[in-house]
């Protein structure tokens, strides 16, 4: 019996209509210095050339598997992504892995991305979730998509298996990729974006629909019991970033709309208390942590 590789990792990629960028994502994983033991694609009802691209990739690579969902007719951020990720976890039952990455189909990775992520995990036994930083299009170049250091990036994050188990997996709701960090930190894990490890994210968060994306983020903040003062501070910061006013206004309106509709919220008192305490501390430290 061969020994278990302590750095063995798997990848799960929920994709939908990614034909324009998916070949680049696939190529950047196939050239990694440390390759996954399995890469599961969950095709969430694509209507473009994505199925053909995935079929060709699976035919040429033994560690790729493709699962296809029926087309529901629309994207479902939050619950749809988490559902796909959970289905991908089921496809890992017959392989040994210690880490799992969630990778979008519109990302280009440097060839040593996973080698460096795994080195970070090896150096810190309490690091539970980590990612690189995202570069997004700006004019003819690229800009760094900013986030606080403890927030890991949804398009390219990685989980330690024990951490993912302790938090009970991902929560199928808007804002899942921030909530996972709160849950991990509450359990004593560390979460981190490695700012010196950069990936190209061809579509910025929310793309060109930034106001609608901000509305969605506001709804997610309400569902996660964000403190109103913290939400307003986030909105104020966004007033200083392009597109001015729209994103800050969208956060507030999304939060208020969810409140008026009494949308479903997390109901774990310990987690809510932790979120409030961390946000209070972050406001005191002006978001530096």
Classified as helix, coil or strand, 280 is helix
pLDDT at residue 208 in the model: 45
The rounded radius of gyration (Å) of the Cα atoms in the chain is 19
* 235 exposure class (CB count in 10 Å sphere: 0-12, 13-18, 19+): buried
Read off the pTM: 0.92
Note the pLDDT of residue 78: 80
β-strand partners of 38:
10
The answer to whether residues 78 and 173 touch, using CB atoms and an 8 Å cutoff, is yes
147 φ, ψ to 5°?
-160, 160
**Where does the chain hold its CATH 3.90.550.10 domain(s)?**
9-201
CATH no. for 9-201: 3.90.550.10
pLDDT in the model for residue 87: 96
How many helices (H) does the chain have, and how many strands (E)? 10, 9
Strand, coil or helix: 20: coil
Question: For the chain, which ranges sit under pLDDT 50?
Answer: 1-2, 207-208
Q: pLDDT value at position 211?
A: 82
Q: Which of 25, 159, 139, 137 is nearest to 92 (CA)?
A: 159
- Report the pLDDT value the prediction gives residue 65, as an integer from 0 to 100: 97
Decide if 114 contacts 101 (C-beta within 8 A): yes
Cα maximum dimension of the chain: 60
């Amino acid at each position: 019996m061969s020994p278990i590789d302590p750095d063995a990792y798997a990848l799960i990629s929920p994709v939908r209509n990614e034909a324009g960028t998916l070949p680049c994502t696939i190529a950047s994983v196939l050239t990694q210095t440390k390759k996954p033991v399995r890469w599961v694609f969950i095709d969430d009802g694509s209507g473009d050339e994505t199925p053909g691209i995935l079929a060709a990739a699976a035919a040429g690579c033994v560690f790729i598997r493709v699962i296809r969902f029926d087309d529901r007719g629309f994207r479902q951020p939050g619950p749809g992504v988490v559902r796909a990720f959970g289905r991908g976890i089921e496809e890992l039952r017959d392989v040994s892995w210690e880490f799992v990455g969630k990778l979008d189909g519109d990302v280009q990775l440097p060839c040593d991305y996973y080698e460096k992520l795994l080195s970070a995990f090896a150096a810190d036994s309490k690091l539970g979730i980590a990612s690189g930083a995202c570069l997004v299009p700006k004019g003819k170049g690229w800009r760094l998509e900013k986030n606080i250091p403890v927030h890991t990036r949804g398009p390219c994050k990685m989980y330690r298996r024990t951490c993912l188990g302790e938090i009970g997996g991902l929560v199928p709701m808007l804002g899942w990729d921030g909530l996972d960090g709160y849950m991990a930190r509450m359990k004593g894990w560390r979460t981190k974006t490695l700012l010196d490890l950069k990936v190209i994210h061809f579509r910025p968060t929310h793309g060109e629909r930034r106001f609608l994306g901000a509305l969605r983020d506001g709804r997610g903040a309400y569902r996660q019991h964000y403190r109103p003062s913290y939400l307003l501070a986030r909105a104020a910061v966004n007033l200083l970033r392009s597109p001015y006013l729209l994103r800050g206004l969208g956060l507030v309106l999304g939060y208020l709309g969810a409140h008026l509709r009494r949308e479903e919220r997390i109901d774990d008192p310990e987690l809510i208390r932790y979120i409030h305490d961390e946000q209070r501390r972050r406001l005191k430290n002006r978001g530096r942590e």
